[in-house]
Amino acid sequence: MFYYLLKYVLLGPLLRLVFRPRTEGLEHVPSTGAAIVAGNHLSFSDHFLMPAILKRRITFLAKAEYFTGPGLKGRLTAFFFRSAGQIPVDRSGKEAGKAAIREGLGVLRKDELLGIYPEGTRSHDGRLYKGKVGVAVMALKAGVPVIPCAMIGTFEAQPPGKVIPNIHPVVIRFGKPLDFSRYAGMENEKAILRAITDEIMYAILSLSEQEYVDEYAAVVKAKQAEASGHKERRFRRIPLG
């Protein structure tokens, strides 16, 4: 109930007024039945813009940190995300990945739309990064199509660390559903999962026209943080005279 209150009364109209999102290919999203919407992830606002323009309810897998903040603010944030159709996902290891897949399959078994960002985290620089294979596992186990989606302009509207969005045009572009039924029963084949995931990422890339990086975003972020830490330590060692 609160999901539709947010969508049609509270948050949805505000998002459409501020961002004025333009949609392309909305006809590719099925009106009934289970499907995965797999998109790029450029901004915190992505979680809310896509649900605001879709006619159907969509449930996203979101990082668990949104649900575990301390104090009253943390509890209110968790309530908001749950009410907005978000499911918490622990991204800290292999077992956590299995739990995310179970949660996602639970949504699909109810013939609902599942939203997922195969990159696993927001892009810190606007580029598209290598996708994780969980999306392929869910597509094969549930036997559902994958609709690629590109969020365009949300990085400029609300880049990482910015709380109040900029006024910037946003386009939400959907591609034709990808059918992977030819791989049915092969969800344990690593090469197949990688091939499916790469096909999904290529479809997103074709829609978004981003620069592609064949590395996981989390790995690149960690490398940059480590390099930044080394520079800071070297700077501290410089004698001041």
3-state DSSP call for residue 58? strand
Q: What is the pLDDT of residue 195?
A: 98
pLDDT digits 0-9 by tens, 170-187: 999 999 999 999 999 999
The total number of residues shown for the chain amounts to 241
Q: What is the pLDDT of residue 5?
A: 66
pLDDT greater at residue 221 or residue 194: 194
Distance CA 173, CA 81 (A): 24
Q: What is the pLDDT of residue 46?
A: 87
Instruction: Report the range of poorest mean pLDDT among 4-8, 14-18, 113-117, 141-145.
Output: 4-8
Asked if the 2-214 domain carries CATH number 3.40.1130.10, the reply is yes
Q: Which two tokens stand for residue 125?
A: 């620089």
pTM: 0.85
Q: Which two tokens stand for residue 12?
A: 């949805």
**Burial of 38 by CB count in 10 Å (0-12 exposed, 13-18 middle, 19+ buried)?**
buried
Q: What is the pLDDT of residue 9?
A: 62
Where in the chain are the domains? 2-214
Bridge partners (DSSP) of residue 60 are 86, 115
Of all residues in the chain, the percent with pLDDT exceeding 90 is 52
pLDDT digits 0-9 by tens, 66-120: 677 777 767 766 776 776 667 777 666 666 678 889 989 999 999 999 999 999 8
Q: What is the largest CA-CA distance in the chain?
A: 72
Instruction: For the beta carbon of residue 170, count every other beta carbon within 10 angstroms.
Output: 26
Distance CA 182, CA 150 (A): 25
Most confident of 37-46, 157-166, 224-233: 37-46
pLDDT at 153 over 80: yes
Most confident of 15-24, 39-48, 73-82: 39-48
* Cβ pair 117, 39 in contact under 8 A: yes
On average, the pLDDT of the chain sits at: 85
Distance CA 194, CA 134 (A): 10
